Amino acid sequence: MMNLDSQGKGISFKFYAAYYPPVYTKVKASSLSELIKGISTVDKNSIFYHVFHPMLSSHVVPEDLPNDFAFWLRESLHDEYLAEVIADIKGGEPLTIEDIRKELLELLNTSSHLDKVADYPFVFISFIPVVYPLDIEVRTLAEFMDAIAKVPARSLFYHFVYKRVMSVSKRNDFTTWLEDNFGLIDLGEKLAKIDPQTYTEEEDFRKDLLKILEGDLLK
């Protein structure tokens, strides 16, 4: 078992969290062609919002449709096939939000029903992030696992998903800290393989993080 009280190279980890207050973009889509145009033109925050915010429990979506685009394609445009294709879009490392925008456009452009009119429009929402520090700073692996178990899900989401996907950092913060401070390359890589797009429940995400940490650090 690892020395859980080790401080590694002495680099501490400070936890932050964030809110993503929605902002109306005035961009709407009533057909697939208009949805494609919207995805092409809205800011990256809007793409992020519609692809990733269902991870937070405040927004409930069906488990088989983990992003807003897939939900609209099935429920309003009644295109079951395209909804399933878009539901399967990946969001893991090393993809950024611009990679995801590009893949969305490529997949949507394969449809032959570009002008079919939807029952109700897709309304593009963006956001202005509000980032705030938590009064939690850890130095050891034991303190890190304790913090992962108790910090708000918004903090896990900010450090693991937001900063990496939005190109604020190259990798998720947890992997970076475990590798840089403790040299735990294999553990860092295991965490990095988690695809946040596979989660619609934030606590399931936390459980999987802890399962990987405990599997490596407590063996």
DSSP 24-44: EEEEEEEEHHHHHHHHHHS-H
Type of residue numbered 51:
V
Q: What is the mean pLDDT of the chain?
A: 94
The answer, yes or no, to whether residue 59 has pLDDT greater than 60, is: no
With beta carbons less than 8 A apart as the criterion, state whether 45 and 132 touch.
no
Res 199: pLDDT: 85
Beta bridge partners of 125: 24
In 3-state terms the chain splits into helix, strand, coil percentages (rounded to 5) of 50, 15, 35
Backbone angles phi, psi at 207, to 5 degrees: -60, -40
Rounded distance between C-alpha atoms, residue 71 and residue 87, angstroms: 8
**pLDDT band at residue 2 using 50, 70 and 90 as cut-offs:** confident
**How far, CA to CA in Å, does 68 sit from each of 51, 61, 109, 168?**
6, 8, 18, 24
Global pTM? 0.91
pLDDT tens-place string over residues 179-200: 999 999 999 999 999 999 888 8
pLDDT tens-place string over residues 12-34: 999 999 999 999 999 999 999 99
pLDDT tens-place string over residues 72-125: 999 999 999 999 999 999 999 999 999 999 999 999 999 988 999 999 999 999
104: left (phi over 0), alpha (psi -120 to 50) or beta: alpha
Average pLDDT of 167-171? 95
Rounded distance between C-alpha atoms, residue 51 and residue 133, angstroms: 25
